[in-house]
């Protein structure tokens, strides 16, 4: 039998079978893509870290790759844990902030929002003819309070009927309670020891179905990272609490590095406030809100974050705030990545300040 391959025979085959060849190649490619999509780890809401930068605020420095933020660099600290598999930065354009945030936040997206608390003339006057002052932070909170973590401790949450809003529990208190599950004794003490059995039990339950942990060797390697993640969170939490302490001194040398500003909010009341016999949109009450960390006093913050919301519209780090977004939409283990991220911002600001000053 003559089985010799010739140009004529190849040409004959292609002229009659090219459709079959293209079809086979297409099927191979589709199968390969489906296998890759099916077997590859899929980032959950908690495993995706999303940064939102409000208009008039600039993230001045490149935070680097996700691998770098995991701590795979020359620094002694990291921004995010190993279990964050993806990240994104959304720079909101003036006038379109509401459209983007409404769509994204309703879908459970978002982790932190950088925004200015600088007060400016709203363009409206009060009953006495005086200008009504507002701020981007105030406008944001009045529209997106339900998506923002409460930082008011035991203070009354602005909406008394919002019992089912999971974000109404104080965020720092929740973080402390989460950590206390995995330590014996005071988590603020340097001698605090991990309850590794509790960590392992919860870790194994959490990774059920995760394609990254099919073999016991992979699980053991993951456990090492999990112990480190929880310890890093404990350190970051204690640092943040310390930065808020009255004993701490920030950039001005007098007041703490961090503060939680108090907002005077007007909210819908559930009672007949104006005495007209009905409860409607005209019944409002004044409440206090605590929804952001003021970063103005972080030493060297101008190397990372600035805003042009200022008296002369020049870039400054004064009035830059960080709001924690949608923490309760994420699985509990990854609900506090914002704490380590905030600690990272403070440490990195100080490092860049020293670097730029030559010290």
Span 46-58, average pLDDT: 93
36-40, 159-163, 230-234, 351-355: least confident range: 36-40
* pLDDT beyond 60 at 149: yes
193-233 pLDDT per residue, tens: 999 999 999 999 999 989 999 999 999 999 999 999 999 99
For residue 126, the model assigns a pLDDT of: 83
As a whole number, the mean pLDDT across the chain is 86
Higher pLDDT, 295 or 18: 295
Given pLDDT bands bounded at 50, 70 and 90, which one contains residue 284? Answer: confident
For residue 39, the model assigns a pLDDT of: 46
77-113 pLDDT per residue, tens: 899 999 999 999 999 998 889 999 999 998 889 999 9
31-35, 55-59, 108-112: least confident range: 31-35
For residue 67, the model assigns a pLDDT of: 87
17-26, 140-149, 200-209, 315-324: least confident range: 17-26
| Contact by Cβ (8 Å): 328, 167 | yes
Span 119-131, average pLDDT: 88
Higher pLDDT, 266 or 359: 266
* pLDDT beyond 80 at 163: no
Span 147-168, average pLDDT: 76
For residue 318, the model assigns a pLDDT of: 96
* pLDDT beyond 80 at 121: yes
For residue 320, the model assigns a pLDDT of: 98
Span 244-252, average pLDDT: 91
* pLDDT beyond 90 at 305: yes
Higher pLDDT, 107 or 339: 339
């Amino acid at each position: 039998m003559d089985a010799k391959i010739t140009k004529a025979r190849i040409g004959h085959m292609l002229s009659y079978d090219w459709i079959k060849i293209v079809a086979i190649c297409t099927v191979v490619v589709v199968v390969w893509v489906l296998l890759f999509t099916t077997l590859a780890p899929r980032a959950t809401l908690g495993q995706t870290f999303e940064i939102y930068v409000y208009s008039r605020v600039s993230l001045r420095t490149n935070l680097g790759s996700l691998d770098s933020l995991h701590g795979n660099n020359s620094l002694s600290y990291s921004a995010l844990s190993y279990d964050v598999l993806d990240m994104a930065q959304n720079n909101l354009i003036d006038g379109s902030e509401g459209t983007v945030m409404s769509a994204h936040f309703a879908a459970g997206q978002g982790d932190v929002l950088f925004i200015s608390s600088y007060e400016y003339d709203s363009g409206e006057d009060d009953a006495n003819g005086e200008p009504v002052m507002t701020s981007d932070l105030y406008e944001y909170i009045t529209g997106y309070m339900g998506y923002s973590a409460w930082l008011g401790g035991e203070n009354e949450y602005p909406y008394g009927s919002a019992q089912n809003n999971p974000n109404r529990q104080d965020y720092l208190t929740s973080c402390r309670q989460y950590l206390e599950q995995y330590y014996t004794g005071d988590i603020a003490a340097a001698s605090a020891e991990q309850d590794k059995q509790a960590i392992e039990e919860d870790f194994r339950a959490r990774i059920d179905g995760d394609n990254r942990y099919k073999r016991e060797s992979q699980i053991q390697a993951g456990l090492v990272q999990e112990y480190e993640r929880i310890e890093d969170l404990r350190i970051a939490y204690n640092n943040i609490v310390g930065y808020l302490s009255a004993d701490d001194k920030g950039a001005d040398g007098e007041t703490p590095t961090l503060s939680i500003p108090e907002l005077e909010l007007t909210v819908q009341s559930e009672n007949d406030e104006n005495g007209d016999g009905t409860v409607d949109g005209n019944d409002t009450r004044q409440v206090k809100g605590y929804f952001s960390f003021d970063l103005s006093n972080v030493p060297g913050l101008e190397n990372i974050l600035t805003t042009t919301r200022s008296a002369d519209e020049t870039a400054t780090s004064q009035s830059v705030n960080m709001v924690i977004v949608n923490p309760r939409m994420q699985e509990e283990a990854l609900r506090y990545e914002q704490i380590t991220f905030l600690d990272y911002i403070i440490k990195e600001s100080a490092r860049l300040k020293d670097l730029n000053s030559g010290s």
